[in-house]
Amino acid sequence: MIELGVNIDHVATVRQARRTYEPDPVVAAALAEQGGADGITFHLREDRRHIQDRDVDVLMQTVTVKTNFELACADDVVAIACHAKPDWGLLVPESREEVTTEGGLDVINDKGRIAKAIARLKDAGILTSLFIDPEPAQVEAAAKLGVDAVELHTGPYALAKHDARQVELSRLVACGQATQSANMRLHAGHGLNYTNVRDVAMIPAMVELNIGHSIVSRAVMVGMREAVAEMRRILDLVA
């Protein structure tokens, strides 16, 4: 069965639009659990544009499923993660100008900084994952750093149309094989939604999908519990 990680970042985006107290991502996480989430994902960005330090503190006290803390390789945020002790730490690239995460980590050319963050997370007893573009060389570089999982960036797949989407899907399948061969867990995420998720969920060896923006968007219309339950039903039909 595919594990569904629900990313609640964009519940916090709505709250931060007025710098107020609602909607609370902590409440959203509890509703996501009721809807069938296997994990709760949250991204404490350096610019704090959505998830706040308070959210991390309270989520770690209230979430009863797997916690997946997304973070950049920044010393101060790594320290927060090591103190919070989530089940997983997913290292992602960040840049202040981006609208959303644009690409995967360049593990090949930034291994020193990434390895340092991995070591600190591991020392804190946190399972580690790297958010990477679906490139075999990046998978190989991640395996050499001894991480527990890689999360393949599905943004290009989600944006592609028709033949181009099949090309992106083939890239993901090839990297899934490389990930399995390297004995790492295969995760995927970014831009997945209720219509494009099936083909990614069906990739052999796929273990976990992290989905946020499309679920939060649906939750605006039907509520978080039902939005998650709808995605759960789709995934349960697939694998």
Ligand X SMILES: NCC(=O)COP(=O)(O)O
* Member of 9, 38, 55, 135 binding ligand DXP (CB under 6 A): 9
Considering beta carbons, is residue 90 or 118 the nearer one to ligand X?
A: 90
**Has 196 been labeled as part of a binding site?**
no
Considering beta carbons, is residue 39 or 118 the nearer one to ligand X?
A: 39
**Has 236 been labeled as part of a binding site?**
no
Q: Which of 135, 151, 187, 190 is catalytic?
A: 190
Q: How far is the CB of 188 from ligand X (least distance, A)?
A: 8
**Has 191 been labeled as part of a binding site?**
yes
Q: State the binding partner of 192 from ligand X, ligand DXP, none, CB within 5 to 8 A by kind.
A: ligand X
179 contributes a contact to ligand DXP by CB under 6 A: no
Site string for ligand DXP, 20-49 (x = CB under 6 A): -----------------------x-x----
For residue 26, the Cα-to-chain-centroid distance in whole angstroms is: 17
68 contributes a contact to ligand DXP by CB under 6 A: no
For 164-200, give the DSSP string.
Answer: HHHHHHHHHHHHHHHHHHTT-EEEEESS--TTTHHHH
**Has 212 been labeled as part of a binding site?**
yes
**Has 162 been labeled as part of a binding site?**
no
190 is catalytic: yes
70 is catalytic: yes
The rounded distance, in Å, linking the Cα atoms of 112 and 22 is: 39
**Has 83 been labeled as part of a binding site?**
no
**Residues 6 or more apart from 180 whose CB is under 8 A from it?**
186, 204, 205
Q: How far is the CB of 41 from ligand X (least distance, A)?
A: 4
For the record, the structure tokens of 47 come out as 């610019």
Sign of CA dihedral 63, 64, 65, 66: positive
Q: State the binding partner of 211 from ligand DXP, ligand X, none, CB within 5 to 8 A by kind.
A: ligand X
The rounded distance, in Å, linking the Cα atoms of 78 and 71 is: 7
Sign of CA dihedral 25, 46, 131, 162: positive
The rounded distance, in Å, linking the Cα atoms of 14 and 187 is: 27
131 contributes a contact to ligand DXP by CB under 6 A: yes
Per the listing, tokens 């923006």 go with 213
**Residues 6 or more apart from 103 whose CB is under 8 A from it?**
93, 133, 153, 155
The residues that are catalytic are: 43, 70, 190
Site residues, ligand DXP (CB under 6 A): 7, 9, 43, 45, 70, 92, 100-101, 131, 189-190
Per the annotation, binding residues for 3-amino-2-oxopropyl phosphate are 7, 18, 191, 212-213
